[in-house]
């Protein structure tokens, strides 16, 4: 299981960040568990500097630019220099701040060009009776990989994060059977976009109110490869409880 902890802007103190890293290092020793932390950029730089553990790091976003005279931008090479190995891209909170499908596609290309594995977030704002949400998920995935070579496409991780399930509590997360269905659907979409049978190795994650109470049910009912976790990843005790449900 791949567990990606998206700290968003919840973690703002170094002491708390270090505590979360220490807990994550212990959890990452469990067989079958891989942990990726996505701290705010300055904290990522501090934590990753001396990291020799199995914990890996992700950017929460990267610049769509190629660098230069652009105050405030943090590019893929800058994250790679800080030892990030993944980049969360197309998160709904970044899309709400202006990232279009075209911008997300450019970011995926930049990430891959600099050795960062993209974690592409897709998901609908609401579910309609006619299945339009399925078309939207398909469109978001298709548009995001448009600029990539077939080989690059095989490296993309897709995280299904329906907006209606983000930031609430376990009982408002997705129904495990609905997740199973969506994971199958996403695998079908990926298979159409990737060369040969390579999509079989692609990872599909779920995010949206994953908590210690529901993570085991979601993992058990579906063929999901892991989780992208927000609020439950920023308290050391809750995060440890959650990961232990999967061991
Ligand atoms: P929550 O786990 O807080 O719902 O956030 C999910 C998310 O957006 C992870 O990227």
Burial of 198 (0-12, 13-18, 19+ CB in 10 A): middle
Render pLDDT for 171-214 as a digit per residue (tens, 0 to 9).
889 999 999 999 999 999 999 999 989 999 999 999 999 999 99
Whether the CB-CB separation of 170 and 211 falls below 8 Å is answered with yes
Residue 112 neighbours by CB under 8 Å, 6+ apart:
118, 148, 152, 155
Give me ligand 1 centre to Cα 202, in Å: 21
Spatial separation of the C-alpha atoms in residues 31 and 89, rounded to whole Å: 28
Beta strands in 49-182 (DSSP E): 56-59, 86-89, 117-122, 157-160
Tokens of 94: 């970044």
State the pLDDT at residue 94.
98
Whether 210 is in the pocket of ligand 1, judged by its Cβ within 6 Å, is yes
- Ligand 1 pocket member 222 (CB < 6 A): no
Cα 27 to ligand 1 centre (Å): 20
For the entire predicted model, the pTM comes to: 0.97
Distance CA 51, CA 226 (A): 23
* 3-class SS of residue 114: coil
Q: How far is the CA of 68 from the centre of ligand 1 (A)?
A: 32
In the chain, pLDDT over 90 holds for what percent of residues? Answer: 94
Q: Which of 207, 224, 232 to probe ligand 1 with, by most ligand atoms within 8 A of CB?
A: 207
Query: CA 167, 168, 170 angle in degrees (round to 5)?
Result: 120
Nearest to 21 by CA among 51, 59, 61: 51
**How confident is the model at residue 129, as a pLDDT?**
87
* Length of the chain counted residue by residue: 247
Q: Are residues 222 and 206 in contact, defined by beta-carbon separation less than 8 angstroms?
A: yes
Domain locations in the chain as residue ranges:
2-244
Atom of ligand 1 nearest to the CA of 232: 2
Alpha carbon of 81 to ligand 1 centroid (Å): 26
- Residue 35 tokens read as 């942990």
CA–centroid distance, 235 to ligand 1, in Å, is: 13
The whole-number average pLDDT for the span 20-44 is 97
Enumerate the active-site residues.
Answer: 91, 161
Q: What CATH number belongs to 2-244?
A: 3.20.20.70
Average confidence (pLDDT) over 234-239: 98
CB distance 226 to ligand 1 below 6 Å: no
Please give the full DSSP string across 166-220, using - where no structure is assigned: TTS-GGGS--HHHHHHHHHHHHHHHHHHSSTTGGGG--EEEESS--TTTHHHHHH
- Cα gap 109→153, rounded to integer Å: 10
Tens of pLDDT along 62-102? Answer: 999 999 999 999 999 999 999 999 999 999 999 999 999 99
**Coil, strand or helix at 121:** strand
Looking at residue 207, its pLDDT comes to 97
Predicted confidence band of residue 170 (pLDDT cuts 50, 70, 90): confident
Is 36's pLDDT higher than 90? yes
- Taking only the tens place, the pLDDT of each residue in 122-167 is 999 999 989 899 999 999 999 999 999 999 999 999 999 999 999 9
Q: Tell me, using a 6 A CB cutoff, whether residue 161 lines ligand 1.
A: yes
Ligand 1 atom closest to the Cα of residue 209 is: 4
Residue 26 pLDDT greater than 90, yes or no: yes
Looking at ligand 1, which residue's alpha carbon is closest to its atom 2? 230
């Amino acid at each position: 299981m791949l567990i990606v902890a998206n700290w968003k802007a919840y973690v703002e103190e170094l002491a708390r960040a270090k505590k979360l890293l220490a807990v994550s290092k212990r959890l990452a020793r469990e067989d079958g568990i891989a942990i990726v932390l996505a701290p705010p950029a300055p904290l990522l730089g501090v934590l990753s500097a001396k990291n020799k553990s199995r914990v890996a790091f992700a950017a929460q976003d990267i610049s769509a630019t190629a660098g230069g005279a652009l105050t405030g931008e943090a590019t893929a090479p800058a994250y790679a220099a800080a030892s990030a190995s993944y980049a969360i891209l197309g998160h709904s909170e970044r899309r709400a701040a202006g990232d279009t499908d075209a911008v997300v596609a450019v970011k995926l290309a930049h990430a891959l060009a600099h050795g960062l594995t993209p974690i592409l977030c897709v998901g609908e704002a609401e579910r309609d009776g006619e299945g339009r949400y399925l078309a939207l998920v398909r469109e978001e995935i298709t548009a995001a990989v448009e600029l990539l070579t077939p080989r690059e496409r095989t490296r993309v991780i897709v995280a299904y994060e329906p907006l209606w399930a983000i930031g609430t509590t376990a009982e408002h997360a997705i129904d495990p059977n609905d997740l199973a269905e969506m994971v199958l659907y996403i695998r079908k979409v990926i298979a159409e976009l990737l060369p040969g049978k390579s999509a079989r190795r692609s990872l599909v994650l779920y995010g949206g109110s994953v908590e210690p109470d529901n993570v085991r049910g979601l993992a058990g009912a579906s063929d999901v490869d892991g989780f992208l976790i927000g609020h439950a990843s920023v308290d050391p005790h809750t995060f440890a409880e959650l990961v232990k449900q999967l061991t």
